[in-house]
Structure 1
Amino acid sequence: MFTKWRFDRRLNSLAASGHEVLTDYAGSDWPDRNSAASGAAYLALDFELDGLRRDADLLQAGWVPFAGDCIAMASARSVDIRSDASLDPAAVTIHGIGEQRAARGQKLAEVAGSLIAALSGCIIVAHAAEIEVSALQRVGKAIWGIKLPVRSICTLALERKLHPHLVGAEAYRLGPCRARYGLPDYEVHDALTDAIAAAELFQAQLSRLPEDVILGDLEQR
């Protein structure tokens, strides 16, 4: 559960970690939970993983910052992440990242440093955001030995609140959710494309909410 005191305590731990990327993250200007959601800084994020296991390798990361109705495409990033593992053939069929491509990716620590810098002061937005949050915290443990404090909004959970009586899990997948708002159909299972799709969906969802809705009403707990 998100609580401000726990988030602040973890930020204080990062500030004393001695790692520049973490101290910069801790010292960022974080938005107040009582501030208007429409004015906050967000980072739409998506990972492609080797399956849904808790220890699945991260194979690709895509992220893009946005605020209000503006998506900062010039700052969008798509990065393959190095893996020497024997990949799950079923997962490769879905995301298209085979073992040769994975072996040429960037080192996880390099990707993590860039991602944390981009995330500083921002709220993560993702569809089924618990996947991204869990993966990011696992990365923090592996590289720096810390559980990274993050704040996030899940577009899937928000869609269930906005349209609570739809039948079947398929109705809440990213594509059908976007279609309800007249958003175009994108190819799925590319990290950056999925991140952009989540950002656009969240902007559309926000347009259906009261103008004074605050972050605390939307953030995952």
Structure 2
Amino acid sequence: MDQLKINLYHIPISQLLEMVKVEFPHAVYDFKKHIVVLNDEAHEFLGFIRLPLHLTIHQDLSVVEETASVLYLTIESGNAAISIMEGAENLYHTTFSAYMTRKKQGFSQIKYLNKKGKSRAGSRVRLAATTEFFEKINTTLTELLETYEISRAALNCNTTLIPYLYQSRVPFPIDKKDPILYKIPLHIPQSNFTNLEAAIKKLRSPMLFYNPEYAEKMGPFLPKD
């Protein structure tokens, strides 16, 4: 059964969290996923609320900060974008590009190398560009983390590229097990600033997800006619 979702932009954050405590006293905050899991009195899962990343809360669902700084990073073959947001304000953004795609076939050089090896000159050029691409990204990230104090780091990256990010000669500046890392739960069609900015805007509002059979329980969150 498909899960339903409702944008809760119409409810102020503090009010929303108070409603959760009243309507779902057994709700639990999951820091890693940055969601509030809605459970019933038997601790059965009913749904969850995805919170905006610029919001920092305690486990007791009290608000700590509503304009926290968040680093966003999206990567695909040959393109990447970084943005740092403080609440709704963009503090910094940049993009990267590299020659990583075989033009005739139109697919990633990394996928090609996994199948065919790297003996040809063109392949070696693209592999060198790939290495430099991730080194530049990690160098920039390191400099940004020395300049800005961030609460979360949100990442969108194809699983094929993840090893190149973490195994670069310039280390990824955040431990891959660090709970501040957050997987962006949206599809970003191309890793440029325009698409990253659009994704950030979507993530700025709290979003309720639930199964249709629990619709009645979700009534307090629904807009009033």
Q: Same fold (TM over 0.5)?
A: no
Q: TM-score, normalised by structure 2?
A: 0.42
Q: Whose Rg is larger?
A: 2
Structure number with the higher strand fraction is 2
Q: TM-score, normalised by structure 1?
A: 0.43
